[in-house]
Amino acid sequence: MTMLHDTRHHQASAHLDALTDEAITIIREVATACENPVLLFSGGKDSAVLLHLAVLAFAPARLPFPVMHVDTGHNFDEVIEYRDRLVHEWNVRLVVASVQESIDKGRVVEDTGPRASRNRLQSVTLLDAIAEHGFDAAFGGGRRDEDKARAKERILSFRDRQGRWDPRQQRPEPWAMLNARIRKGEHLRAFPLSNWTELDIWRYIARHDVPLPSIYFSHRREVVERDGMLLAVGGPVELEPGEMPFEATVRYRTVGDASCTGAVESHAADVRDVLAEVAAARITERGATRADDTFSESAMEDRKREGYF
Amino acid sequence: MGIDTELVSSTSSTLRIATAGSVDDGKSTLIGRLLHDTKTVFEDQLSAVVKASRRYGDGETNLALLTDGLRAEREQGITIDVAHRYFATPRRSFIVADTPGHAQYTRNMVTGASTSDVAIVLVDARHGVLDQTRRHALIASMVGAQAIVLAVNKMDLVDWDEARFLEISAEVQSFVDALPDPVPVTPIPISALLGDNVVDRSANTPWFAGEPLLEFLEAFELRPHGDVGARVHVQRVIRPQGGAHADFRGQAGVVTGGWLRTGDEVTVLPSGLTSTVRALYRWGDEVAEAGPGHAVVVQLATNVDVARGDVLVAGAVIDPLVGDDVVVDVCWMVDRPVTAGSRWWFQHGTRQGHATVLEVQHRLDPTTLERHDTAELVLNDLGRLRLQLGEQVVADQYHVLPEGGRMILIDPADNSTAAAAMVQTVTAAHTNGRG
């Protein structure tokens, strides 16, 4: 029994070592081959791990590129507070791209009604910001295990002048050798966490004490149940007729736009508890908590084609 | 220390697998079966697949839909691009590249196979060995897979006929024996659809004495590459601007080929300048030594000229090759053919530069293994080129150290990745001066 436990611990630890080396290598390579990269930072756990790895990749030098938060305006307060604290403590430069500004400028039209979400609008704000700042590469925390369309994505993924992803014309990536050559106006998305699973992310967080927003751990919150998900009340979510809010002990498995990110009932109060919970989970994080991905079988592919993260 | 570490990790390290084989041989179904039977499939993924199977009119739950992630793939029922999937058992973690079977997507198959330790080549027991079976076995051996599992699939449709299984096994074995780089082949009779011999031993094959697929993969011992001496292809010079570390200067890169330790003598190639390792850092912390795959920063004792693209070499058992006249085996990946005199970009290690094709030496027929004289290679061709590079590279023969022997060619017209290339020889015939 102890033997089995030791073996398992050793293999999990060796696997995480290899993933860590791989991610740091990708970050260094893309940051050096490209002229003006940026790291997309949502305040969620994947982008927290990505930023932590990026800081390690260039230590003891300062992170040589900025991080960008695409702000939907529908945030959890805890996440904004966390974002500002982290960029200060880790000495990184923050750029904020605002969906509200895109709406005010008429670049996008906001949906209305109780189920309105700004999630889809983010793609336009993101592409506008990439063009405005002249970024040629954007690091994202996307993982291939998140979704079937993401499972097809390269580590270094080409975007044309319109910011579009063409899944049928991806550059082959033999030996994970990264071809970072682009023409003006085109850009690249880089995914150093491609080969990580949700469990690997949590193991890394536990190993390196990566700080996270408090909403990843269990807390009491007023919620409403909709389509099998628990949505926070009091923010952008509007109650529909017949819906009854109630208080529950919950935590978040993902952090996105507050209008479409659901909580799960959980008593996991610290990283150790969460690790145990994730290891035993029978439902994917997106299936459990993201209304935006459950619309159709190809929801993610369609949004990615339009330039989504 | 280095040797002990490798012994411990050889049975417990992550295994990278690629599937290969022709269209409809059941590659995606097999991956779906592995994910399903190792309880890796989450409930919401499974219920989505059950629903989709009904919509596409499949009789049973179509486990291939777990990996065919693109709309076009689900509609056509084929795999176009590589999907990467992850699963773990108590004994091991696995990364699986599910690769396309169509000849027109061979470049994506090469991508999937290039990073894999083991290739699972599927054959439909009814149809036997096809051209694609041979092509994929050849590619798997070219890119350096350590083993091929021959999964003879759909055995239920040939009434679990042992003679048929042995016939197919013998045909593949004799083909692989004739390859330039033969690989051990392990045949297993399976039904991916029904699960026989995938995770659990099948009652339908009492004549089969070998292990089921998952057991074989869990126990497979990776053969560590021989120690050829450490190399670090320098990605970037780390130089803090001001602050507490203003005097710090280090070279960031990945260690390959062997172990690097504090105090080691280092030669910078191609310049030939020498220094010693003052300190090593991994993940921001100082370490006494670093081994293959470790992402490090190397701080040298003296201030020698080192830039991106240079290679730090320590304790060379086999010296790396320095030169600009290079012979490579390639898989050609774009529509534009390659001919003598054509110009491309090359990328090797952390170095990029011009590459002019001096000659197309031959095309390798993937089914007969004959080498044909040819003026050009076209999309999906396998063959051999001699290149004149615009700069010297510090390389290794691919079979000596794959990390030092791999290269890509890039089409300057649109920046697409045009070829995966494996270094065979490097000479400095066209060099003037250095090296």
For the cut 80, the answer to whether the pLDDT of residue B18 exceeds it is yes
Q: Nearest Cα to B356, choosing from B396, B392, B322, B325?
A: B325
Instruction: Quote the minimal CA–CA distance from B159 to chain A in Å.
Output: 34
Least confident of A213-222, B52-61, B208-217, B228-237: B52-61
- Interface probe, candidates B14, B75, B104, B407, chain A, greatest A C-beta count within 10 A: B14
Query: CA of A13: which chain B residue's CA is closest?
Result: B13
Query: Is omega for the bond preceding B402 within 30 degrees of 0, making it cis?
Result: no
Domain residues of chain A, as ranges?
Answer: 2-201+298-305, 213-293
User: What pLDDT, in 10s, does the model give residues B333-350?
Assistant: 999 999 999 999 999 999
The continuous run of DSSP H or E covering B116 comes out as none
Residues B215 and B200: beta-carbon distance below 8 Å? no
CA distances A53 to A27, A56, B251, B295, Å, are 8, 5, 17, 11
Instruction: Quote the minimal CA–CA distance from A105 to chain B in Å.
Output: 34
Nearest CB partner across the interface for B93, out of A15, A22, A194: A15
How much is the average pLDDT of A7-35?
89
Residues B229 and B317: beta-carbon distance below 8 Å? yes
For the cut 90, the answer to whether the pLDDT of residue A75 exceeds it is no
| Residues of chain B neighbouring A283 (CB-CB closer than 8 A) | 42-44
B74: contact with A, CB 8 A cutoff: yes
Query: CA of A10: which chain B residue's CA is closest?
Result: B12
- Predicted confidence at residue A299, as pLDDT, reads 65
**Both tokens of residue B91?**
């004994």
**Both tokens of residue B405?**
């022997």
How much is the average pLDDT of A84-112?
87
For the cut 50, the answer to whether the pLDDT of residue B370 exceeds it is yes
- Helix/strand/coil percent split, chain B, to 5: 25, 35, 40
Residues 6 or more apart whose Cβ sits within 8 Å of residue A104: none
* pLDDT bracket for residue B5 (50, 70, 90): very low
Least confident of A259-263, B214-218, B423-427: A259-263
Distance of alpha carbon A259 from alpha carbon A262, whole angstroms: 8
The continuous run of DSSP H or E covering B328 comes out as strand B321-332
DSSP character at residue B15: E
For the cut 60, the answer to whether the pLDDT of residue A296 exceeds it is no
For the cut 70, the answer to whether the pLDDT of residue A98 exceeds it is yes
How much is the average pLDDT of B396-420?
96
- Predicted confidence at residue A27, as pLDDT, reads 98
How much is the average pLDDT of B249-273?
97
Distance of alpha carbon A202 from alpha carbon A48, whole angstroms: 11
Cβ neighbours of B4 (radius 10 Å): 8
B99: contact with A, CB 8 A cutoff: no
Half-sphere exposure of A23 (CA within 13 A, CB side): 31
User: What pLDDT, in 10s, does the model give residues B103-153?
Assistant: 777 888 888 899 999 999 999 999 999 988 999 999 999 999 999 999 999
Query: Is omega for the bond preceding B270 within 30 degrees of 0, making it cis?
Result: yes
Query: CA of A59: which chain B residue's CA is closest?
Result: B284
Check B417 against A60: CB less than 8 A apart. no
For the cut 50, the answer to whether the pLDDT of residue B2 exceeds it is no
Query: CA of B294: which chain A residue's CA is closest?
Result: A21
Check A179 against B417: CB less than 8 A apart. yes
Nearest CB partner across the interface for A7, out of B12, B110, B333: B12
Distance of alpha carbon B231 from alpha carbon B394, whole angstroms: 10
Strand partners, A246: A223
**B residues 220-249 closer than 8 Å to A (CB):** 235-236, 238-241, 243-245, 248
Domains and CATH numbers, chain B: 11-219 (3.40.50.300), 230-314 (2.40.30.10), 321-427 (2.40.30.10)
Q: Nearest Cα to A170, choosing from B350, B22, B333, B349?
A: B333
Query: CA of B416: which chain A residue's CA is closest?
Result: A171
- Interface probe, candidates B6, B7, B12, chain A, greatest A C-beta count within 10 A: B12
SS3 B217: helix
Instruction: Quote the minimal CA–CA distance from A234 to chain B in Å.
Output: 28
Query: CA of A156: which chain B residue's CA is closest?
Result: B417
Query: CA of A12: which chain B residue's CA is closest?
Result: B93
Q: What is the DSSP string of chain A?
A: -HHHHHHHHHHHHHHHHHHHHHHHHHHHHHHHHSSSEEEE--SSHHHHHHHHHHHHHHTTSPPSS-EEEEE-S---HHHHHHHHHHHHHTT--EEEEEHHHHHHTTSS----STT--STTTHHHHHHHHHHHHT-SEEE----GGG-TTGGG--SEEEE-TT----GGGPPP-GGG-------TT-EEEE-TTTT--HHHHHHHHHHHT----GGGS-EEEEEEEETTEEEESSSSPPPPTT---EEEEEEESS---TTTB-EEE----SHHHHHHHHHH--S-HHHHHBGGGSS-TTHHHHHHHTT--
Instruction: Quote the minimal CA–CA distance from A257 to chain B in Å.
Output: 21
For the cut 60, the answer to whether the pLDDT of residue B102 exceeds it is yes
| Residues of chain A neighbouring B84 (CB-CB closer than 8 A) | 144, 151, 194-195
- Predicted confidence at residue B77, as pLDDT, reads 63
User: What pLDDT, in 10s, does the model give residues A163-190?
Assistant: 888 887 889 999 989 999 999 999 999 9
B4: contact with A, CB 8 A cutoff: no
For the cut 60, the answer to whether the pLDDT of residue B6 exceeds it is no
Domain covering A2-201+298-305, topology: Rossmann fold (3.40.50)
Selected residue with higher pLDDT from A234 and B365: B365
| Residues of chain B neighbouring A21 (CB-CB closer than 8 A) | 254, 282, 293-295
CA distances B424 to B8, B365, B399, B406, Å, are 32, 19, 8, 10
Check A282 against B308: CB less than 8 A apart. no
* pLDDT bracket for residue A297 (50, 70, 90): low
Residues A172 and B420: beta-carbon distance below 8 Å? yes
User: What pLDDT, in 10s, does the model give residues A78-92?
Assistant: 899 999 999 999 999
Residues B145 and B17: beta-carbon distance below 8 Å? no
- Predicted confidence at residue B87, as pLDDT, reads 85
SS3 B146: coil
**Both tokens of residue A114?**
């109780």
How much is the average pLDDT of B272-289?
97
- Predicted confidence at residue B246, as pLDDT, reads 84
Work out the angle at residue A124's Cα, subtended by the Cα atoms of residues A122 and A126, and round it to the nearest 5 degrees: 65
Nearest CB partner across the interface for A10, out of B12, B115, B239: B12
For the cut 70, the answer to whether the pLDDT of residue B75 exceeds it is no
How much is the average pLDDT of B426-433?
66
Mean pLDDT of chain B: 89
How much is the average pLDDT of B221-236?
92
* pLDDT bracket for residue A9 (50, 70, 90): low
Nearest CB partner across the interface for B248, out of A55, A60, A194: A60
* Burial bucket for residue A119 (CB in 10 Å: 0-12, 13-18, 19+): buried
* pLDDT bracket for residue B371 (50, 70, 90): very high
Residues 6 or more apart whose Cβ sits within 8 Å of residue A150: A142, A143, A144, A300, A304, B69
DSSP character at residue B323: E
Residues A197 and A144: beta-carbon distance below 8 Å? no
- Predicted confidence at residue B71, as pLDDT, reads 66
User: What pLDDT, in 10s, does the model give residues A138-166?
Assistant: 999 999 888 777 888 899 999 999 888 88
Nearest CB partner across the interface for A179, out of B86, B284, B410: B410
Instruction: State what percent of residues in chain A have pLDDT above 70.
Output: 86
Q: Nearest Cα to A196, choosing from A150, A253, A261, A130?
A: A150
For the cut 90, the answer to whether the pLDDT of residue B263 exceeds it is yes
Report residue B153: phi and psi, to 5°.
Answer: -100, 165
Residues B103 and B367: beta-carbon distance below 8 Å? no
Q: What is the ipTM of this complex?
A: 0.89
Instruction: Quote the minimal CA–CA distance from B65 to chain A in Å.
Output: 9
Instruction: State what percent of residues in chain B have pLDDT above 90.
Output: 69
Least confident of A79-93, B53-67, B356-370: B53-67
Selected residue with higher pLDDT from B59 and B351: B351
B159: contact with A, CB 8 A cutoff: no
Q: Nearest Cα to A201, choosing from A71, A79, A23?
A: A23
Q: How far apart are the first and last CA of chain B?
A: 34
- Predicted confidence at residue A157, as pLDDT, reads 93
Mean pLDDT of chain A: 86
